[in-house]
Structures are given as structure tokens and as C-alpha cells.
Amino acid sequence: MDMSTKIKYATDILIYSIDSRKNLNTRELPKKYFSILLVKRNKEPFKDMWCLPGGFVFEDETSYDAAKRVLKKETNLTDTYIKQLGTYDDIKRDPRERIVSTAYLSLVDKNKIKDELSLDVKWFDIEIKEEKEQIYLELTNEDKIFISIKKKLINNKANQYEYILENSENIAFDHGLIINDGIIELRKEAETTDIIFNLMPDKFTIGELKQVYEIILGKQLINSAFRRVIAKKVEEVDEIIQTGGHRPSQKFKYKGD
């Protein structure tokens, strides 16, 4: 007697990046935005809503292979940071039939994307508002997406939280939840590893790097302390840039610990 049922197996991939846009005040540095690549659905269910890039895992590949395949298809990038985030298998997550999806998190430098994106693929800015037990995400490009998530402590000894998707507008399936989980994971890793450098171009200024850290962590950093710590991880390259009405800045590259 075989108790097992067969289910469909898919992958979804979080492609996070940083967008840099000039300010009105030309003296100020270009402002940076945390962003994510989404795809517009062209069929039911959730037709015309946005969703994560993804698809079914083929017979002869792992979900990891599939995620890399999807990443390459949408961005033509390989050799990017990519790691398994988690598997989503709520019974009703897809209204049609049961589909289990293993999600991956990737970080890219969007300047490295040379080709045009497809028409139905767009970068969205991510804005995060966090309260004690609630997280609100607002994703913006021409369209707007709202995600509202409840945060509930389930094991105080492990700082373990359960995140429950309360509400989402204009985004398909449980993808709002996955996006949130990815942000949580990214923030956690940013505190203990040099993961952030995966979002940076090869050469960057300390100021730009600090901007990116501040967006991801969602808090202001102390300038001198930041430079002190980061100095150990970077080395100067022979390039100085002038970005506005202020002292020019040295460019650096990642060196490692």
C-alpha cells in the first residue's frame, strides 16, 4: 500500500538588487532603492497580477538548477549569489491544485544586466514599514503592490518567528510571504556575513556601500564606525570619482576578511 500522493514541484526565485536614481538636488548623492524583479501574470489565476519569476522543476534537474535557469532566462546572469530560502507547501497556496515550491534568494548587481528585460518583467522598489508585530511592504513601479504580514513569536529561546500573510494586493499566490521571508533572511545574513557585496558593482565608494547597508538593514549607521569596520574588508582601487558639489571619493573593491 502506497500512502504517498504525487504533487507538482516548482521553484520561485527572489531576485533582489539595488537601484540608484539621481536626486533633484544635484549636490546630493543619487538615492538608492532596494528592489526586486517581478513578472506580470498573463493567465488565470491571478491574471494581470505580479509574481515571482519561477516555474516547474523539470524531471532531470534539481530546484537549484531550475532557479538558476529561471534567473538566467530573465536576466541572462550566471555566477550570482543564490541560495535556497525555503519550501512553501501550504495545501491551498495554489487554488488550482497542490503545488509545492522551493524558493531561492539571489542578489544581483543590476548594472551587469546588459540585455533588455522582457515586457512583462519589471523592477519594483521595496519599501518596508515595520511595527512591533506587523510588517508592511510596499512595492512600486508604475503599479503598486501591498503586502501585510503578521509577525508572531513561536519560540522565544530561538528568536523564532512565524510570519503570516494577512493581506496582499496585486501580487499572486503566497509570494508576498516569500518576499518577506527573503528580506528577513537577507537582513540576518547582512549582520554576520559580507553578503551585501553581492549587490555592489566591482568598484564602489564607501559612501555608496554605506547607503546600501542602510537600506537593507533599515537603519542609519554611524559613519566613522562603519568606515572603521569596512576598511578591513575592502582595498583601494586606482580610481577617484566626482559625483557632485563635494569632496571627491576614493573607489574601493571587495577584498575579503
Q: Is 115 a binder of a copy of itself (CB under 8 A)? A: no
Give the count of alpha carbons within 13 A of 224, CB side only. 0
* Binding span for a copy of itself by CB under 8 A among 34-42, 163-171, 191-199, 224-232: 191-199
CA distances from 207 to 35, 102, 197, 199 (A): 19, 36, 13, 14
Q: d(Cα 212, Cα 214) in Å, to the nearest integer?
A: 5
Q: Is 155 a binder of a copy of itself (CB under 8 A)? A: yes
Within positions 198 to 257, which residues make up the interface with a copy of itself, using CB under 8 A? 198, 254, 256
Q: How far is the CB of 188 from a copy of itself (least distance, A)?
A: 8
Q: How far is the CB of 208 from DNA (least distance, A)?
A: 7
DSSP 181: H
Nearer to DNA among residue 22 and residue 47 (C-beta): 22
Candidates 91, 256, 82; CA nearest to 182 is 82
The residue ranges that bind DNA (CB under 7 A) are: 25-29, 205-208, 222-225, 227-229, 242-250
Q: How far is the CB of 98 from a copy of itself (least distance, A)?
A: 8
Q: How far is the CB of 205 from DNA (least distance, A)?
A: 5
Cell of 136: 508592511
Strand, helix or coil for residue 238: strand
CA distances from 168 to 136, 139, 148, 159, 247 (A): 10, 11, 6, 25, 44
Q: Is 189 a binder of a copy of itself (CB under 8 A)? A: yes
Find which of DNA, a copy of itself, none residue 195 binds, CB within 5 to 8 Å per kind.
a copy of itself
- Residue 93 burial by CB count (10 A; 0-12/13-18/19+): exposed, middle or buried? middle
Within positions 85 to 104, which residues make up the interface with a copy of itself, using CB under 8 A? 86-87, 89-91, 98, 100, 102
CB-based contact 135:127 (threshold 8 Å): no
Q: d(Cα 179, Cα 15) in Å, to the nearest integer?
A: 10
Q: How far is the CB of 55 from a copy of itself (least distance, A)?
A: 8
Q: Which residues bind a copy of itself (CB under 8 A)?
A: 3-10, 55-64, 81, 83-84, 86-87, 89-91, 98, 100, 102, 155-160, 189, 192-198, 254, 256
